[in-house]
Amino acid sequence: MFEENAVCKMLQIKYPIFQGGMAWLGTAELAAAVSNAGGLGIIGAGHMPPDVLRAEIQKLKAATKKPFGVNIMLMSPFVKEVMQVVVDERVPVVTTGAGNPGEYIPALKEIGCKVIPVVASVALAKRLVRTGVDAVIAEGMESGGHIGEITTMALVPQIVDAVDVPVIAAGGIADARGVAAAFALGAEAVQMGTRFVVSQECIAHENYKNLVLKARDRSTVITGRTTGHPARVLQNRLTRHYLERESQGAPADELEKLGLGTLRLAAREGDVDNGSVMIGQISGMMEQVKPVAEIIQEIVRGIAPVIEAIQQDCR
Q: Least separation, in Å, of the C-beta of 123 and ligand TUI?
A: 8
Q: Give which of 4, 26, 8 is closest to 67, Cα–Cα.
A: 8
Q: Least separation, in Å, of the C-beta of 311 and ligand TUI?
A: 33
What string marks each residue from 18 to 47 as x (binds ligand TUI by CB under 6 A) or -?
Answer: -----x----------------------x-
For ligand TUI, the closer CB: 178 or 193: 193
Residue in 99, 186, 270, 302 binding ligand TUI, rule: CB under 6 A: 99
Residue in 234, 278, 289, 303 binding ligand TUI, rule: CB under 6 A: 278
For ligand TUI, the closer CB: 30 or 303: 30
Query: Please, are residues 220 and 234 in contact by the beta-carbon 8 Å criterion?
Result: yes
For ligand TUI, the closer CB: 38 or 280: 280
The CB-nearest residue to ligand TUI is: 145
> Strand ranges (DSSP E) for the chain?
17-19, 41-44, 68-73, 93-97, 114-119, 136-139, 145-146, 167-170, 189-192, 220-223, 231-234
Q: How is residue 165 annotated by DSSP?
A: S
Q: Least separation, in Å, of the C-beta of 20 and ligand TUI?
A: 8
139 touching ligand TUI, by CB under 6 A: yes
For ligand TUI, the closer CB: 54 or 146: 146
- Helix residue ranges per DSSP H, 142-261: 152-162, 176-184, 194-197, 206-214, 237-247, 252-259
Q: Which of these segments, 95-103, 105-113, 180-188, 208-216, binds ligand TUI (CB under 6 A)? A: 95-103
CA atoms within 13 Å, Cβ hemisphere of 75 = 9
Q: Least separation, in Å, of the C-beta of 40 and ligand TUI?
A: 16
CA 56 to chain centre: 18
Q: Least separation, in Å, of the C-beta of 279 and ligand TUI?
A: 10
* Cα–Cα distance, 170 to 30 (Å, whole number): 18
Q: Which of these segments, 48-56, 57-65, 117-125, 301-309, binds ligand TUI (CB under 6 A)? A: 117-125
In one-letter notation, the amino acid at residue 31 is A
Kindly state the number of chain residues that form the binding site for ligand TUI, as judged by CB under 6 A: 21
Q: Compute the chain's Rg from CA coordinates.
A: 18
* Cα–Cα distance, 53 to 43 (Å, whole number): 8
Query: Please, are residues 47 and 23 in contact by the beta-carbon 8 Å criterion?
Result: yes
Q: Least separation, in Å, of the C-beta of 193 and ligand TUI?
A: 8
Task: Count, in order, helices (H) and strands (E) of the chain.
Answer: 14, 11
Give residues 173-212 in contact with ligand TUI (rule: CB under 6 A): none
What string marks each residue from 59 to 88 as x (binds ligand TUI by CB under 6 A) or -?
Answer: --------------x---------------
The residues pairing with 233 across neighbouring beta strands, listed in sequence order, are 221, 278
* Cα–Cα distance, 138 to 156 (Å, whole number): 6
Q: Which residues bind ligand TUI (CB under 6 A)?
A: 23, 46, 73, 97-100, 118-120, 124, 139, 145-148, 229, 231, 259, 263, 278
